[in-house]
Every structure is written in structure tokens, then in C-alpha cells.
Amino acid sequence: MKKTYQAEPFRIKMVEPIKQTTRAERITLLKNAGYNPFSLKSDDVYIDLLTDSGTGAMSQNQWAAMMMGDEAYAGSRSFYRLESVVKKITGYAYFIPVHQGRGAEKVFLPQLVKHPGMYYISNIHFDTTRAHVELAGARAIDSVIEACYDLDQDHPFKGNFCLETLEKVILEKGPQEIAGIIMTITNNSAGGQPVSMENLRAVKKIADHYGIMTIIDGARYAENAYFIKEREQGYQDKDIIDIAREQFSYADVFLMSAKKDGLVNMGGLIAIKNRKDLYDLCRTYVVPYEGFPTYGGLNGRDMDALAVGLEEALDEHYLRYRIDQVRYLGDKLRAAGVPIQYPIGGHAVFVDCKRFAPHIPFDQFPALSVTNAVYIEAGVRGVEIGSLLLGRDPDTKENLESRTEFMRLTIPRRVYTSSHMDVVADAVIAVYQNRKELKGYRFTYESPILRHFTSTFEPIL
């Protein structure tokens, strides 16, 4: 067989120095941060895997495009450039820029809530999406396949909707009570897991049958398209852009945090297939919330960078490198016996801390314990996605127990090399080998909302 040679599909033209600290320094830095990695200064982090959101590196073409930005308040040339790219990719008629994903959620989601107590159904609502559903007076129901929670099960599309639950909820609540169906692609909370085209098609069919609108929450829609090409029968010879377009054909609306597959540091968008009435409503509300509809909270230059980034993110060579890099890290961990969500998702490796530290109960936050130990080991920052993030029951005030306790190692796009991934893997494996020594945590201050960001802790010795 002919050998293929593969490495990062770019060379590095500008570098940002990063600093290594000593273990003794990191012990003090973490203590001073109240044992909450969100409170660390990024200068004190060697390899930062907190998020892939807005943390990617832009290309020379994106930086060059920024010089062409038109900063006009109304009718900016940069808006029209971005609009033509969004329309080309989605095939939709209407487009409004916003400053980031949650801006799109804030402007759009209330428009379908005709009275309080309606429901949005999603494979899994991302946390900001859930927050905006609730702020709009609606409730969020998740309907993901059960395989998603069987972390070792080798299923190609663990982000899929459970169609039975979806239909059951529609019938139970009544179709007129469903504000919309939100397809999160890839499914972030499930481990960056993809959703198959067959599943999207089936959801659309159910939605049409009951007269319900479908919305794509597509922060990572290009990564999803790549997985479809790789894994779903009939898509191997298709271009990524055609797969992306077919994905969009099964929705009426596309909401995007462009900080992921838009390859920019800040940005978002709302695109609407053909509902002029909804477009008019969003245009009305975007003005007080985000800004005039031809900038929506973005600089002209940022819209130019996004126009280029959206196209670059659909490049198959880029996507292969991207997905392979995440897989490289995940495979290394798995080979060393570290339990992870498998198959490995698109943007992150999700380490299963229930099995990593089974001696730590959920309300002492096993994934926080592992995350902090990995920081002390090598200055690598991951993020807890488990019971700490989930919070408390609003009525009983009890700590809720998450079905999964993950440390997410989220890989920024085009930022780190495979040597960085080797350091991350070595650090996690070293912590795994000493996992019996890991301690749980208790609060020294618990923030009343979104507690994972600002609470402080102490280890339970």
C-alpha cells in the first residue's frame, strides 16, 4: 500500500510564547484561584484546553480580509460579503449577524414561544441554549439516544435524537405546545458526538408531520458534516459543502456560535430559510439587543474574517487534521486505559471521571478533582462538565447528580501541535496512575447562578 504522510496542514508564521511554571508554583496558583480553574490567569496555563470557543487561530487570509473591513454603521460592505457566504453555504434566504451564539439564542428563541410553558425539544440543549429557552418562558426537554450514556459503546452517531422519545413528548404535550425542535450538531454535551443525516431527515419528517419548526444549533456543523462523510453510507464521495447543505435542508433556522466552526474569536449568526415574518421579527429585536442588522454587534473587519473562516472550515484537509488531532489525543489516553467517551468526538476528548475516580462521590465533584490534578501535574487546563456544572434542584436545593462526570479536554482549532497533545496525554496518564490519591472538593463559596464559573473550593483531606 502507498504510504501517506500527514501532519498539520499549515506552517506557523507568527508565534505566541507560552510559559511553563513549576509544580510548586502551580500548587500555590491553584490554591489562590480557590481551586477553580476558571479563576486561573491564562498566563499561568501552559496548554489551555478549557474551550474551543473563540480560541482558534486565524489564517493569513482571514487576517488579510480584516484589513478590508468596512466599519459603516449601516449597509457595511463587510456585511454583504458575509451574507453572500452564509447564503451560499446554507441555501437560506435571510441572514442576521450577532456577536456570539447566545446573542442568536436571545434574539431568535423567544420568537417561537407564543405563551409561557411551551417546550423546545433538542437532542441535548447546550447550557446557554437551555438558559435562553427558559428566559423566553419555555421549558427545555432533551431526547438523545441511550447509547450516548454507554461510554464504551462503539456507535457512529451517539449525538442522535431518540425519535421515539421525541414523538412521545410531542404527543404528550400536544404539537401546538412545542415551540421548536433544536438539532445540536455536533452534540456538545454528549461529547462532541455527531448526528447522522438519516437522523436529521427523520426528525424533520416528524416535525413536518406535526407542523413544528426545526432549528439547527450548528456551532460545529462542519465537523458534523465531516463525520457524516466518514461514517454514513452514501456520503463518502460527496463534498463537505454539499453535506452541509443537505444538513441545512432539514431545518428552517440556523443559529450559530461562529467562535467554533466560523474560525473566529468572536461572532455568531442567525439564518432563516424562508420565513420572512420571522426574519422581520428578528431584525426588530436584534437592534436593541445586538446592534443594527448589518452589524449585529460585530466590527466590519470581524464579519470579513468570518466570511473567510466559514469557507476555510469546510475544507476537507483542514477537517481531517482537526478531527484526527482530537482522535490522536483520545487514542493515546484510551491505549493507556484512561476511560473516555468513545468513539472520540469532534472538538474534545471527554474523560470519564466516574470511572477515573470512583471513590469520590458526585457532590464532591470527581471531574473537578481530576481537572485540578492535571493542572498541577503539567499546567494543562481542562474543564469540569458534570455535577458541578449541573447545579442544584431549584425547588429542593439539593445538588443534582449528573449522569456523566466528564473532564473535557477541548482542543482549540489550529493552535497546538501534536507535541502539545503528547504532553497533555502524559499528564493525564500520570494522574490516572496515581488516581487513588485524588481527593474530593467542598465549597468555600458557592455562587448562586452558573456556579462553576466563580465558586471557590477546598480539597477534602
Residue 94's beta-bridge partner residues? 272
What's the closest the beta carbon of residue 221 comes to ligand P61, in angstroms? 10
When asked if residue 455 is in the footprint of ligand P61 (CB under 6 A), the reply is no
Question: Of 102, 106, 273, 332, which one interacts with ligand P61 (CB under 6 A)?
Answer: 102
Is residue 100 at the binding interface for ligand P61, with CB under 6 A as the rule?
Answer: yes
CB of 290 to ligand P61, least distance (A): 12
Nearer to ligand P61, 217 or 377 (CB): 217
DSSP-assigned letter for residue 193: B
* 391 SS3 class: coil
Q: How far is the CB of 3 from ligand P61 (least distance, A)?
A: 36
Nearest CA among 154, 181, 203, 172 for reference residue 341: 154
Residue holding cell 463518502?
Answer: 236
Segment lying near ligand P61 (by CB under 6 A), choices 4-12, 66-74, 126-134, 291-299:
126-134
Strand, helix or coil for residue 36: coil
Smaller CB separation from ligand P61, 70 or 265: 265
Catalytically annotated residues: 73, 126-127, 217, 219, 260, 452
CB closer to ligand P61 out of 268 and 379: 268
Nearer to ligand P61 by Cβ, of 90 and 257: the residue is 257
Q: Dig out the grid coordinates for 127 from the structure.
A: 447550557
- The answer to whether 268 contacts ligand P61 (rule: CB under 6 A) is yes
- The total of other beta-carbon atoms located within 10 Å of residue 461's CB is 5
Q: Do residues 371 and 382 touch, judged by C-beta distance below 8 A?
A: yes
Question: Which one of the spans 23-31, 71-79, 123-131, 440-448 is the region binding ligand P61 (CB under 6 A)?
Answer: 123-131
Task: By CB under 6 A, name the one of 26, 139, 204, 259 that touches ligand P61.
Answer: 259
188 contributes a contact to ligand P61 by CB under 6 A: yes
**What are the φ/ψ torsions at residue 443 (nearest 5 degrees)?**
-70, 140
Give the contacts of 314 (CB within 8 A, at least 6 positions apart): 89, 222, 225, 240, 241, 244
Nearer to ligand P61, 55 or 76 (CB): 55
Cβ closer to ligand P61: 119 or 350? Answer: 350
| Contact in structure between 435 and 356 (CB atoms under 8 Å) | yes
Of 53, 78, 196, 402, the one binding ligand P61 (CB under 6 A) is 53
- In angstroms, the CA 238 to CA 78 distance is 30
- Binding-site member from 184, 364, 369, 402 for ligand P61 (CB under 6 A): 184
129 lines the binding site for ligand P61 (CB under 6 A): yes
Residue type at position 312: E
Out of 76, 143, 199, 257, point to the residue binding ligand P61 (CB under 6 A): 257
In the region spanning residues 287 to 316, those forming contacts with ligand P61, defined by CB under 6 A, are none
Q: How far is CA 233 from CA 89, 222, 227, 323, 328, in A?
A: 23, 18, 11, 19, 24
Q: Is 51 in the site for ligand P61 (CB under 6 A)?
A: yes
What is d(CA 421, CA 52) in angstroms, rounded to the nearest whole number? 15
Distance separating alpha carbons of residues 418 and 413, to the nearest angstrom? 12
Cβ within 8 Å of residue 13, ≥6 positions away: 60
In terms of Cβ atoms closer than 10 Å to its own Cβ (0-12, 13-18, 19+), residue 7 is exposed
Candidates 107-115, 122-130, 150-158, 202-210: pick the segment binding ligand P61 (CB under 6 A).
122-130
The least distance separating ligand P61 from the CB of residue 436, rounded to whole angstroms, comes to 29
Q: How far is the CB of 188 from ligand P61 (least distance, A)?
A: 4
Nearer to ligand P61, 51 or 160 (CB): 51
Instruction: Kindly state whether residue 62 participates in binding ligand P61, applying the rule CB under 6 A.
Output: no
Q: Which residue(s) pair with 104 in the sheet?
A: none
Q: Does 127 bind ligand P61 (CB under 6 A)?
A: yes
Residue 407 contacts residue 382 (beta carbons within 8 Å)? yes
* Binding region for ligand P61 (CB under 6 A): 51, 53, 100-102, 126-129, 184, 188, 217, 219, 257, 259, 268
